[in-house]
Amino acid sequence: MMRHWSIGGVIGAAVLAVLVLVAIAAPWLAPGDPLDIVGRPLLPPFTDPRFPLGTDQLGRNVFAGLVHGTRVSLLVGLAAAAAAIGVGILVGTVAGFLGGWTDEGLMRVTEAFQTIPTFLLALAMVSALGASTVNVVLAIAISSWPATARLVRAEILSLKSRDYVDAARLAGMSRLGIAFREVLPGAVQPVLALIGITVGVAILVESSLAFLGLSDPNQVSWGGMVANGRAVLRTAPYLVAIPGAAVAVAVLSVSLVGDAMGRRLLVSRER
């Protein structure tokens, strides 16, 4: 199994594992509310052992913000991607398998969502619904399911004319039973490769929304930290660079893992 994992995939998986551990261990790594003012403002990194990454202009611990921000970023990224992929699979399977007017209707709705850029749709939704973590997850999910739906539908279309579908029909299985138990398992493989992209985009969108101030104000978010540091960019560039790098590392690791999964599937499909 391991021989198909590329070096990039292994590095990505390792970094992702570290991020997940940090997210889980955040209360122990940096106890207390990361939004509390704990020290002198604008302390540069590596000067005070209590604040290894320094403090921002209000005297908040950057390290604590970074650690707790990991939670928000990963949670929102994964939850939004899971919801988007779930909806996409459902819509794609029903549309592809039932065909006819159901397919036409669902695909036109999918296209309607696709015509609006993911970020703009999420932005519009969060500004309308209000900035809470749940709404951010919802907005990202609603704006990013169409890709999965189209992919699943295409796979289902190519699978549903196979003999084993006829065999299942003959065996007396119901149409939805065949769609979800016989056809869908063959169609989810390419979706696995899409997970990396979906999660990566979700993390980016979450950060961007937070950067614009559209996130739960009571929770630290990397995007929010960047927005905050922007005001003192010339005197304390690390306040933008550190959370910015965190976003980049998280998205990169997720993409690398997704890419490696996609390649592995390609190998197993060619066999």
Partner 1 sequence: MLKVRDLAIRFAGRSASEAGTLAVDGIDLDLDRAQVLALIGESGSGKSATMLALAGLLPKSAKTTGSVLLDDRSILHLDEREKSTVRGRRIGMIFQDPGGSLNPVLTVGDQIDEVVRTHRRLDRRAARAETVSLLSRVGIGDPAARARAYPHQLSGGLKQRVAIAAALAAQPTVILADEPTTALDATVQAQILDLLVNLVQVEHVALLLVTHDLAVAAAVADRIAVMYAGKIVERRGPEQLVTDPGHPYSRALGQAALPFVAAGDGRHAALPELPGRMAEAGGTACAFAPRCPLAIDRCRAQVPPVVPFGDGEAACFRAGETAQ
The contacts of residue 161 (CB under 8 Å, 6+ apart) are: none
Q: Residue 241 is encoded by which pair of tokens?
A: 């660079």
Piece in contact with partner 1 (CB under 8 A), picked from 42-50, 111-119, 159-167, 240-248: 159-167
- CB 266 → partner 1: shortest distance, Å? 16
Q: How many residues bind partner 1 (CB under 8 A)?
A: 20
* Minimum separation from the CB atom of position 125 to partner 1 (A): 35
Nearest CB to partner 1, comparing residues 3 and 271: 271
Helices vs. strands in the chain: H and E counts, helices first? 11, 0
Minimum CB distance to partner 1 smaller for 161 or for 235: 161
Cβ–Cβ contacts within 10 Å for residue 210, how many?
Answer: 30
Q: Quote helix, strand, coil % in the chain, to nearest 5.
A: 75, 0, 25
- Smallest gap from Cβ 153 to partner 1, in A, equals 17
Q: Map the footprint of partner 1 across residues 75-104, applying CB under 8 A.
A: none
What is the distance of C-alpha 136 from the center of its chain?
A: 12
Separation between Cα atoms, residue 207 and residue 243, nearest integer Å: 10
| Cβ contact 152:180 at 8 Å | no
Nearer CB in complex with partner 1: 26/193: 193
Q: How far is the CB of 148 from partner 1 (least distance, A)?
A: 18
Smallest gap, in angstroms, from Cβ of residue 184 to partner 1?
9
Nearer to partner 1, 35 or 188 (CB): 188
SS (H, E, C) 153-208: HHHHHHHCCCHHHHHHHHCCCCHHHHHHHHHHHHHHHHHHHHHHHHHHHHHHHHHH
CA angle 175, 148, 124 (to 5 degrees): 120
Whichever of 46 and 164 has its CB closer to partner 1, that residue is 164
Find the binding residues for partner 1 in span 163-192 (CB under 8 A).
Answer: 163-164, 166-175, 177, 181-182, 185-186, 189
Least separation in angstroms between CB 171 and partner 1: 4
Residue closer to partner 1, measured from CB, 32 or 185: 185
Are the C-beta atoms of residues 144 and 84 closer than 8 Å to each other?
Answer: yes
- Verify binding: residue 49, partner 1, rule CB under 8 A: no
Which residues sit at the interface with partner 1, rule CB under 8 A? 162-164, 166-175, 177, 181-182, 185-186, 189, 271
